[in-house]
Amino acid sequence: MNRACIAAAAVAVLICGCASSPPLRYYVLSETPPAGSAGASASSNADSVQVTKVALPRELDRNELVQRIDATRVHIAEDDRWAAPLDDLIRRALAANLRAHAQTPRTGQVSVQIESFSADLACGVELRASWEWREPGSNTPSERRRADIQLPPVGHECPIGEVPVRMSEALAQLAEQMRQ
């Protein structure tokens, strides 16, 4: 067998191997209407709140979606990815929730430190975060607070596609606490 035949066979094997891989699926986090609300009510001060920074632990700062198996193990979904960096997705979802659902729009800038943010195999979600508000034009934090949010499991095995939905719900609850 000559080199050309070997090379052609190798290329054919590579193409067949690539053709059989499952497609990648991409997800985002989104604004979620507050509980008991029929829908979002846009705030007249759409630019009154800026989420300037979201800091994540390194184990969350990855492209793939992750589900917690137990206290020491996680499942990394290789074919299920965030459509953008997770800190950007969190920042956008929080900003949308803070702006859209505020009874009295709050003004200023907020930076958020995510300490823990995970979904388990039954879609129970844990979100621990702290944040600092800065009044408009100030470089000094006017308020520092933290929240521990727990969403109970849904009662059945959680497909990976439900993880972003549940995480968006947790972010809506965080935004609610941030507005208080």
User: Is residue 109 within 8 Å of residue 141, measured between CB atoms?
Assistant: no
| Tokens matching residue 138 | 């100030």
**DSSP three-state, residue 9:** helix
Q: Is position 55 within any domain?
A: yes
User: What is the predicted pLDDT for the residue at 6?
Assistant: 62
Amino acid occupying residue 5? C
| Tokens matching residue 11 | 């290329």
**Cα–Cα distance, 177 to 116 (Å, whole number):** 16
- Quote the domain boundaries for residue 46: 26-179
**Cα–Cα distance, 152 to 120 (Å, whole number):** 10
**Which one, of 111, 119, 103, 105, lies nearest residue 153 by Cα?**
119
Q: Is position 14 within any domain?
A: no
| Tokens matching residue 119 | 């979904």
- The predicted-structure confidence for 158-176, as pLDDT tens digits, reads as follows 899 999 999 999 999 999 9
Q: Is position 149 within any domain?
A: yes
Q: Is position 3 within any domain?
A: no
Annotate 141-158 with b (16+ C-beta within 10 A) or e (fewer): eeeeeebebebeeeeeeb
Q: Is position 7 within any domain?
A: no
Q: Is position 4 within any domain?
A: no
User: What is the predicted pLDDT for the residue at 138?
Assistant: 85
Given a cut of 50, the residues of the chain with pLDDT beneath it are 39-45
**Cα–Cα distance, 119 to 86 (Å, whole number):** 14
User: What is the predicted pLDDT for the residue at 173?
Assistant: 96
Largest CA distance in the chain: 78
User: Is residue 79 within 8 Å of residue 97, measured between CB atoms?
Assistant: no
User: What is the predicted pLDDT for the residue at 72?
Assistant: 92
CATH of the domain at 85: 3.40.50.10610
Q: Is position 67 within any domain?
A: yes
User: What is the predicted pLDDT for the residue at 43?
Assistant: 45
Report the number of distinct structural domains present in the chain. Answer: 1
**pTM for this entry:** 0.81
| Tokens matching residue 145 | 């607070």
Q: Is position 158 within any domain?
A: yes
User: What is the predicted pLDDT for the residue at 65?
Assistant: 95
User: What is the predicted pLDDT for the residue at 129?
Assistant: 98
**Cα–Cα distance, 64 to 81 (Å, whole number):** 4
